[in-house]
Copies of this chain bind each other. A is one copy, B any other.
Amino acid sequence: MMNFGRTPRRIASKPLDRELGFGKTVTTTGRMMNPDGSFNVKRRRIGMMDNVYTHLVSIAWWKFILLVLAGFTLLNCIFATIYCLIGIEHLNGTQPGSFVQNFRQAYFFSSQTLTTVGYGHISPLGLMTNIAASLESFFGLLTFALISGLLYGRFSRPVARIAFSDNMLIAPFKTGQALMFRMINARISELIETEVQLILTINQRDEQGSTSRVFFQLPLQINKISFFSLSWTIVHALDAESPLSGFSQQDLVDSNAEFLVFVKGTDDTNQQIVHTKRSYIAEDVVWNARFRPVLSINKNGIAEVETQLVGEHEVLAES
């Protein structure tokens, strides 16, 4: 039997009714947030131009380099075509030949113009070619100015690089149990005034029998630390106040539970505020387990943390 109708019995935090921008009636079978922190949504017919910068600043480095290289080649081909159309004989220093030979010479003249290297062993003759070359060097500079900006944008973009444990654990805590996950700061720089929000979203059936999606802000033992230097285990106590109080492993799965993690902090290097998100689904929760230590003191008395061990845990024997 499905427990869609289960009402969390005692709710300390009031449900965050619609406050995440998703309607109550949206009960997807899939997850709301992808593991990488992007939302599992699609916005249709939004303006592309607005998003070019966002896109170029966010894509992987190898894609960015390839894209820029392709743009450079394309621009050179366009201008080489123009120079050929005007006539290769207006490029002083070239030797007219077959179309391929002409295009090749025009292409390299174009590349020397676009990058403003301008060796000068080939130079423009006549009005049209001069105008084309003048515009090309002008747009060349603009383009490289643009790429400068993009490169700076890519590098200086504030990103938190936080390693999360792959699983959430239901671990012993004080006299009862708590839901826990662990994070490690995987950058050189510290994260100052780091805050965590943990939001639970589950399906819930009301009295009329219709199912809706409800959201709860889960109270945390500690939700803010002065700075996040090494590792941090985030703890939500499964006490009577918790919306998850009394849930079994199956209950979590049945109600299509998803845990949304929002982290916010200030990067110590450039003082920019950074955000990161992550999502855990019911299947990611390991019951009755405990995280293994991730901190150690080396022989010089310095605290060390192993980023790779962030998710290491041991399942406890049933007591």
**A45 & B269 in contact (Cβ 8 Å cutoff):** no
Answer whether residue A230 sits at the interface, using C-beta atoms and an 8 A cutoff.
yes
Give every chain B residue within 8 A of A303 (Cβ-Cβ).
Answer: 22, 26, 28, 32, 40-42
Answer whether residue A10 sits at the interface, using C-beta atoms and an 8 A cutoff.
no
Give every chain B residue within 8 A of A149 (Cβ-Cβ).
Answer: 148, 151-152, 155-156
Answer whether residue A13 sits at the interface, using C-beta atoms and an 8 A cutoff.
no
Answer whether residue A185 sits at the interface, using C-beta atoms and an 8 A cutoff.
yes
Give every chain B residue within 8 A of A137 (Cβ-Cβ).
Answer: 111-112, 115, 117
Answer whether residue A295 sits at the interface, using C-beta atoms and an 8 A cutoff.
yes
Give every chain B residue within 8 A of A124 (Cβ-Cβ).
Answer: 108, 119
**B304 & A22 in contact (Cβ 8 Å cutoff):** no
Answer whether residue A222 sits at the interface, using C-beta atoms and an 8 A cutoff.
yes
Give every chain B residue within 8 A of A211 (Cβ-Cβ).
Answer: none
Interface-lining segment among A139-147, A167-175, A246-254: A139-147
**A141 & B138 in contact (Cβ 8 Å cutoff):** no
Give every chain B residue within 8 A of A3 (Cβ-Cβ).
Answer: none
Answer whether residue A262 sits at the interface, using C-beta atoms and an 8 A cutoff.
yes
Number of copies: 4
Q: Which single member of B40, B47, B133, B188 contacts A46 (CB below 8 Å)?
A: B188
Answer whether residue A177 sits at the interface, using C-beta atoms and an 8 A cutoff.
no
Q: A270-282: contact bitstring with B at CB < 8 Å (1 yes, 0 no)?
A: 1111110000000
**B41 & A304 in contact (Cβ 8 Å cutoff):** yes
Answer whether residue A7 sits at the interface, using C-beta atoms and an 8 A cutoff.
no
Give the distance in Å from the alpha carbon of A155 to the alpha carbon of B146 in the complex: 9
Give the distance in Å from the alpha carbon of A112 to the alpha carbon of B135 in the complex: 10
Q: Could you tell me the distance in whole angstroms from the C-beta of A248 to the nearest C-beta in chain B?
A: 25
With A28-B301, A144-B141, A269-B57: A161-B47 Cβ-Cβ less than 8 Å:
yes
Q: Which single member of B104, B151, B272, B305 contacts A42 (CB below 8 Å)?
A: B305
Give the distance in Å from the alpha carbon of A47 to the alpha carbon of B61 in the complex: 14
Q: Could you tell me the distance in whole angstroms from the C-beta of A214 to the nearest C-beta in chain B?
A: 14
Q: A283-319: contact bitstring with B at CB < 8 Å (1 yes, 0 no)?
A: 0000000000101011011111111100000000000
Residues of A within 8 A of B (CB): 16-23, 26, 28-30, 32, 39-47, 49-51, 53-55, 57-58, 61, 68-69, 72, 76, 92, 104, 108, 111-113, 115-124, 127, 130, 133-134, 137-138, 140-142, 144-153, 155-159, 161, 184-190, 192, 197, 199, 222, 224-232, 262, 266, 268-275, 293, 295, 297-298, 300-308
List 22 A-B pairs, Cβ < 8 Å: A40-B302, A40-B303, A41-B230, A42-B298, A42-B305, A43-B184, A45-B308, A46-B186, A49-B61, A53-B156, A72-B138, A108-B133, A111-B134, A113-B117, A115-B138, A119-B120, A120-B121, A120-B123, A145-B152, A149-B156, A153-B156, A192-B275
13 other A-B residue contacts (CB within 8 Å) besides A44-B306, A111-B137: A21-B227, A22-B295, A23-B295, A40-B302, A42-B302, A42-B305, A45-B307, A46-B307, A57-B269, A115-B138, A146-B155, A157-B269, A157-B270
